[in-house]
Structure 1
Amino acid sequence: MRIGIDISRMATIARTGTEHYTGEVVAAIARRDAVNTYTLYCNQPPARLPSLGANMTVRCIPLPRLWTHVRLSGEVLRHPPDVLFIPAHVLPLGAPLVRRMRTVVTVHDLGYVRYPEAHTAAQRLYLQMSTIWSARAASHLIAVSAATRNDLVRLAGVSPNRITVVHHGVAERFRRALADSSRTRAITGGDEPYFLYVGTVQPRKNLARVIAAFADASRRLTGCGMAPILVIAGKRGWLSEGIARRAAEVGIADRVRFVGYVADDDLPALYHGALAFVFPSLYEGFGMPVLEAMACGAPVLTSNSSSLPEVAGDAALIVDPLDTGAIAEGMVRLVCDAALRQELRQRGYRRAAQFTWDRCAEETLRVLYG
């Protein structure tokens, strides 16, 4: 069988969720399948390419703009594989014209529908046109969680028979996390114990409430013998300016540190060194940082919304993301209750062990085979 995969997301240097997913699932497929023939399509050479088998060929087909719908469409129209796999939402417009080619698209979330205020008008228009059209035009869809599958059925009108849920895995580098105080000190700017958030700085991540909750928790923790800081790691997204101002508004600007995007190699030590990982997001299609933190041994506080309870299971402190007081209470408990931290740490290790990229690749290959 000839399988084509769009790996264009792998050219991104500062990778976030969909870029990591593409790289990890391609690497895991390469480890598991030496039989089928693969063509990996890209606009420019990937920043980091995993070890590939002799049955895999990278085909760079550059075009400055509209690469997916013009250049990739033309490629699969002229030289169609048996199966075209799109790991991140956007099916080429020309793909449905190839009747004998099966198309499989991974849909990561429908956040622009659930939280339109967290996206620009241009983003909403593009995502509506590309994601909904791809969801309806593809032969089959992979949803990264049952929550995303349910959104596709309810919000996009996709038949559940056309959707298979395949969870993400956890990269092996997170399972080997070790304490590295010099590395974490260089990132956080000090030796204080810290709550940690990792992800894009944008309203959907609920960071304004996290900062307000941290201010409340800090006041309640006065005299308890521990004065943690809040470390927010991630690149700035849309409307991030208001989030950055929030710390000053609640009087704790000196206790909140925005450290920017953290390189992949530095993340395990940062997770491992955290007092707790705080991720009460309003909406996630999967929530990969939750599992990464668990795999590194960080106790996790997350929200009861969207996919997050599905991913966290019984291994996290679950709160209502709209209740600032509940988030603050969770932070106080995590500081004051060492036994709770240890229990969540052990549960997190066990939970993260259930999610592997090899399993993700095996289930993805079953979908590709049809």
Structure 2
Amino acid sequence: MKIGILLENPIQVGGGFNQAINAIVQLQRIIGKQHEVVAFTTIKANLQHIKRLGVPAEYLPAVGKLSRIALAVLRRLIRKEIGKAWMAHKIENALLKAGMDLGYFVTHSSTPNYFRKLNYVTTVLDLCHRDDLEFPEVSADGRFEEREWHFSTCLPRAVAVLVASHQLLKRIVVRYGVDEERMIAMPFEPSPFLSEAHSIDRTAVLAKYGLRDGYYFYPAQFWPHKNHIRILEAIPSLKQKTAVNSDIRVVFSGGNSGNLAWIKQQAQRLGVSDNVTFLGFVPVDHMRALYEGALAVVMSTYFGPTNLPPLEAWAVGRPLIYSAHLNEQIGDAALFADADDAEEWADAMLRIRDPAVAVDLIEKGRKQLKAIDTERLEAETLFVHRLEQFAQRRKCWE
């Protein structure tokens, strides 16, 4: 059997890209000896990242060779259903021509909604348009309706649906009526690029950004739901609670998804601009060093129920402060603060400066990571079984 993995997002999307890369490496590892696994990407720059991890990869120029005028027209159409359907048709035909028996979409993708022949596995990372529908990135300009249509169309037709947690699995069953036996709760894992083999020395990285050890680190794109504002609001209170000469430094890394200017404006309004460093999007080989230099990792996001930075903090051995409503993934391996309450964040940021508290959380993080690893191994067994089941059924037709 030949399985074609589809990667349609650029590296700039951050955690979503890293989790997609994890899924690609995972499939090659768990079933690559029994079946042929090939990664396809519609973004040529992704090839270097996939190939450096030892997975066969091919560029899929879905649009083919078009004139400049035709390409401009297509880009406008892509925003409409006719354009999306056309693109999906081209991708499906390319996969069938390459002899693929099964497609595997490792991120949220509307492409399989339009497939007419090829079976597929799909991925659901969250249902935040339902859980936190106030945020414009999942509700404005028809995004809520688009997500609803996508999930109700794509999920029932999938050979298997991989989700990030059992909590999310249950929500999908209730909200979209998907058969539970076709779903697999596959826990996240830290980015493969976080290993020392793929990382640059900490001293060099911190020097590049003008940083010293001991900052609060929040790696996240600048979406409204990432709730950077709560960390900014916590800084004045934290400064009052610490010694006068304490160096309070918050480091934000991540690309701008439309909210960066607002956050910088709020930092000025609150008088904390001098305490905040905005790194922007950083190369993957800098991330381990940025984690290692942190006093603690902070993540005040509203969206979940799972996220990558907690796992990466534990993998590198840094203590974590996390949004309290997302505690299912975390166990007791973090200090928790209400995502709505800046004072709670200030208290947690103060408490984690105690070395004894930090050491305790680091050890609990290691244990939680091991528990998640065990859960993932069980999920991988289920995934292999489902794929082998499909492989037997695929023999029934040409």
Instruction: State the TM bucket, normalised to the shorter chain.
Output: 0.7 to 0.9
* Contact kept? 2:216, 2:249, Cα under 8 Å: yes
Counterpart in the other structure of 1:328: 346
- Equivalences for residues 204-223 of structure 1 within 5 A: 204-223=225-244
CA deviation profile, 1:71-118 (whole Å, cap 9, x unmatched): 1133356676432211112242343x33xx542111111222323323
Whether 1:195 aligns to 2:216 is yes
Counterpart in the other structure of 1:185: 207
Change over 3 Å in CA distance of 1:173–1:8 after alignment to 2: closer
Higher RCO (C-alpha 8 Å, min separation 6): 1
Equivalent residue for 1:350, pick from 364, 367, 370? 367
CA distance in 1 between partners of 2:336 and 2:142 (Å): 34
SS in 2 for 1:75: helix
Whether 1:235 aligns to 2:273 is no
User: Normalising by structure 1, what TM-score?
Assistant: 0.86
Which consecutive residues of structure 1, in runs of 5 or more, have no partner in the other structure?
Answer: none
Equivalent residue for 2:15, pick from 3, 14, 17? 17
* Contact kept? 2:213, 2:293, Cα under 8 Å: no
The Cα shift of 1:233 comes to 0.8
Q: What is the RMSD computed on CA atoms of the aligned residues?
A: 2.8
Which consecutive residues of structure 2, in runs of 5 or more, have no partner in the other structure?
Answer: 64-70, 72-77, 79-83, 390-398
Change over 3 Å in CA distance of 1:240–1:178 after alignment to 2: closer
Whether 1:112 aligns to 2:113 is no
Change over 3 Å in CA distance of 1:167–1:367 after alignment to 2: farther
The Cα shift of 1:196 comes to 0.8
SS in 2 for 1:93: helix
User: Normalising by structure 2, what TM-score?
Assistant: 0.80
CA deviation profile, 1:146-195 (whole Å, cap 9, x unmatched): 232233234334343332101122245535489723422322x2436211
Change over 3 Å in CA distance of 1:69–1:318 after alignment to 2: same
Change over 3 Å in CA distance of 1:272–1:366 after alignment to 2: farther
* Contact kept? 1:68, 1:92, Cα under 8 Å: no
CA deviation profile, 1:109-138 (whole Å, cap 9, x unmatched): 122232332314254444333344212332
Which residue identity is paired with 2:94? E
Change over 3 Å in CA distance of 1:362–1:18 after alignment to 2: farther
* Residues matched between the structures, number: 358
Change over 3 Å in CA distance of 1:315–1:271 after alignment to 2: same
SS in 1 for 2:22: helix
Equivalent residue for 2:358, pick from 326, 341, 344? 341
CA distance in 1 between partners of 2:168 and 2:305 (Å): 6
Q: Give the stretch that moved more between structures: 281-290 or 295-304.
A: 281-290
CA distance in 1 between partners of 2:177 and 2:259 (Å): 30
* Contact kept? 2:200, 2:286, Cα under 8 Å: no
SS in 1 for 2:184: strand
The Cα shift of 1:37 comes to 2.1
The Cα shift of 1:211 comes to 0.9
The Cα shift of 1:197 comes to 0.3
Which residue identity is paired with 2:102? V
